[in-house]
Amino acid sequence: MLSVQQVGKSFGGLAALSDVSFGVSPGEIKAVIGPNGAGKTTLFHLISGLLRPSAGRIEIAGRAVTGLSAVQIARLGVARTFQQPQIFRTLTVLENVMLGGHRSGRSGLLACGLGLPAARAEEHRLADAAREQIDFTGLAGSAGRIASELPLGQQRYVEIARALATGATLLLLDEPAAGLDDTETGQLSELVRRIRARGVTVLLIEHHMDFVMGLADSVLVLNFGVRIAEGTPQSIRESQAVIDAYLGTTEDA
Amino acid sequence: MNVASALFTGTGQSWNSVRVLLLAAALLALPQVFGQGYYLNTLNFVAVLALPAIGLSLLSGMCGQLAISHGAFFAIGAYGSAILNVRLALDPLLATVLTQAIVAVVSAAIGWVVLRLRSHYLAIATLSFSIIVEVLIKEWPRLTGGQQGMTGIPPYQLGPLQLGSDAAVYYVYWPVTLLMFWFALNLAQSRIGRVLRAIREGEPVVDSLGISVARHKAMIYIVSSVFAGLGGSLYAHFVGFVTPATGSIMFAIDIIMVLALGGFDRLWGALVGIALITLLNEYALGFADYKRIILGAGLVSVMLVFPRGLLPGLFDLGRRHLRGTAK
Per-residue pLDDT of chain B (327 residues; tens, 9 = 90+): 467 777 777 777 788 889 999 999 999 988 888 888 888 999 999 999 999 999 999 998 899 888 889 999 999 999 999 999 999 989 999 999 999 999 999 999 998 888 777 667 888 889 999 999 999 999 998 888 888 889 999 999 988 888 989 889 999 999 999 999 999 999 999 999 999 999 999 999 999 999 999 999 999 999 999 999 999 999 999 999 999 988 888 788 888 888 877 776 689 888 988 888 888 877 776 766 777 787 778 778 877 887 777 777 777 787 777 766 654
Chain A residue numbers with beta carbons less than 8 Å from the beta carbon of B213 are 71
Chain A residue numbers with beta carbons less than 8 Å from the beta carbon of B223 are 109
When pLDDT is averaged across residues A45-56 and rounded to a whole number, the result is 94
Give which of A163, A209, A153 is closest to A184, Cα–Cα.
A153
**Three-state SS at B159:** coil
B18 has a chain A CB within 8 A of its CB: no
Chain A residue numbers with beta carbons less than 8 Å from the beta carbon of B16 are 115
Check if the beta carbon of residue A42 is closer than 8 Å to that of residue A83.
no
Least CB-CB distance to B198: which of A99, A103, A126?
A99
Alpha-carbon distance of A154 to A148, in angstroms, equals 10
**Domain range annotation of chain B:** 38-326
Q: How far is B21 from chain A (nearest CA, A)?
A: 14
When pLDDT is averaged across residues A59-65 and rounded to a whole number, the result is 93
When pLDDT is averaged across residues A103-110 and rounded to a whole number, the result is 93
**Three-state SS at A67:** coil
Least CB-CB distance to A88: which of B17, B190, B202?
B202
Give phi and psi for B197, each to the nearest 5: -70, -35
Question: Cα A69–A75–A81 angle (5° rounding)?
Answer: 80
What is residue B85's DSSP assignment? I
Q: How far is B89 from chain A (nearest CA, A)?
A: 31
pLDDT (tens digit, 9 = 90+) per residue, A113-167? 999 999 999 999 999 999 999 999 999 999 999 999 999 889 999 999 999 999 9
For residue B6, the model assigns a pLDDT of 72
DSSP string, A34-48: -STTSSHHHHHHHHH
Q: Assess if CATH 2.60.40 describes domain B38-326.
A: no
The residue of chain B with its CA nearest to that of A166 is: B209
**Domain range annotation of chain A:** 1-77+168-253, 90-167
| Residue type (1 letter), A108 | G
Least CB-CB distance to B186: which of A71, A89, A115?
A115
Least CB-CB distance to A112: which of B192, B197, B213?
B192
B281 has a chain A CB within 8 A of its CB: no
Query: Dihedral of the CA atoms B154, B155, B161, B164 (nearest 10)?
Result: -100
Confidence band of A253 (pLDDT split at 50, 70, 90): very low
pTM of the model: 0.90
Q: How far is B308 from chain A (nearest CA, A)?
A: 13
Please indicate whether, in this complex, the C-beta atoms of A99 and B195 are within 8 angstroms of each other: yes
Instruction: Check whether A31 has a pLDDT greater than 90.
Output: yes
Check if the beta carbon of residue B266 is closer than 8 Å to that of residue B61.
yes
Least CB-CB distance to B190: which of A74, A103, A112?
A112
| Residue type (1 letter), B284 | A
Best to test chain B binding among A114, A162, A174 (most B CBs inside 10 Å): A114
Helices (H), chain A: 40-48, 70-75, 93-100, 109-114, 117-136, 152-165, 182-197, 209-215, 233-238, 240-247
CA dist B290 to A2, B293, B295, B298, Å?
Answer: 66, 5, 8, 12
Give which of B147, B150, B135, B149 is closest to B85, Cα–Cα.
B150
**Three-state SS at A85:** coil
What Rg do the C-alpha atoms of chain A give, in angstroms? 19
Beta pairing partners, B56:
none
Looking at domain A1-77+168-253, its CATH class is alpha beta
